[in-house]
Structure 1
Amino acid sequence: MSWDIQGLFRLHAKGIARSLTRRGMSDESAADITQDTFERVLARPPEHGVSNHNPKAYLYRVSRNLGINQQRRDALLRTVDLDSDEAREQADPSPSPEHIVYSRQCLLQTYRALEQLPERTRRAFEMHRLGERTIAEVGEELGISTTRAWTLIHQAYRHLLSATEEE
């Protein structure tokens, strides 16, 4: 016996999902279990020796069993709605003291590395990175070509990376 899974899906998927939502499942869970039902049938079709085979009844039975298993799992797990006040209380948005100290040390290293750059290179980098100007705008303001502005900015990046990695 060979089942036309695509045909069965077209015929019964909506009905299976509706039956699961009538049992109290959300639309998303019902859709997931409906898909799982057909995956299960693809992986393990009914035995060949079954004389009375009804594909629709078999699919609904598999979906019902998967739905029961899902409801049992959900009953064991405590979930919290992410929009609730309880969820906001559990998550601490402030960084840890260690993270604050580490961030300050990284910032200090960056300032020191910027001070080591030649004036024009530092200025090009700051205009581009901090001033949010394009490379063409940096070149125009400094009176250099776009290629030279890019070279200065690139040198500044390389210097900052190497200086912060060493410390």
Structure 2
Amino acid sequence: MPLHIPLAPAAAERSVRTALHSTTPVTPRPPRLGEGALQPVLPLPVHRLAPVTGPTEPPRARLTGWRFLLARDGLAVGAAETMLTADGWAFSHFCEGPFIASSERAVRLADALPGPYQPRLLSVPELYMLTLWLHSDPGADPAAGDPLPEDLLMPLAPAPPGIAADRAVTTAALLPLLTSRLAPLGLAS
């Protein structure tokens, strides 16, 4: 298995488990999650891509949280995200939608790739884009680091028009496309 799933901080997982068992309206479950037992599985650190300033500028990312797929009877039906606060890790929100199935599919595809990788999620909010980031150093601290040129990025479906989903490409290959997409928004030079 080339994927080395990182361990989530215990407090992050605890906050998700607490939210799953909460009956307060602060943590309402989306309708698709329904009632019943859900298990947090496949914890992945979520990093946000900093605004791309140009094709020669190395990409920067910062950790924004951890996402756990929520499984019922072995099938992912949603996700839960945590965020880092001044008091430590806290539950943020539940998620549903196409990125859930796409995340599962991308992990399966990535697991068949040669070489060891540490899976992470990389968010590009300006493009409403989420990618499975396959960090080439499987032993790296999952909370730190920026996408390296040799790292692989696999856009999750639905990907923005003109960007292929479920296809792993190097950061060096995808970054120029992202830069050109962000340029009209005044986010790249």
**Structure of greater relative contact order (alpha carbons < 8 Å, 6+ residues apart):** 2
Question: TM-score, normalising length from structure 2?
Answer: 0.21
Higher share in helix: 1
Scaled by the length of structure 1, the TM-score of the pair is 0.23
Structure showing greater Rg:
1
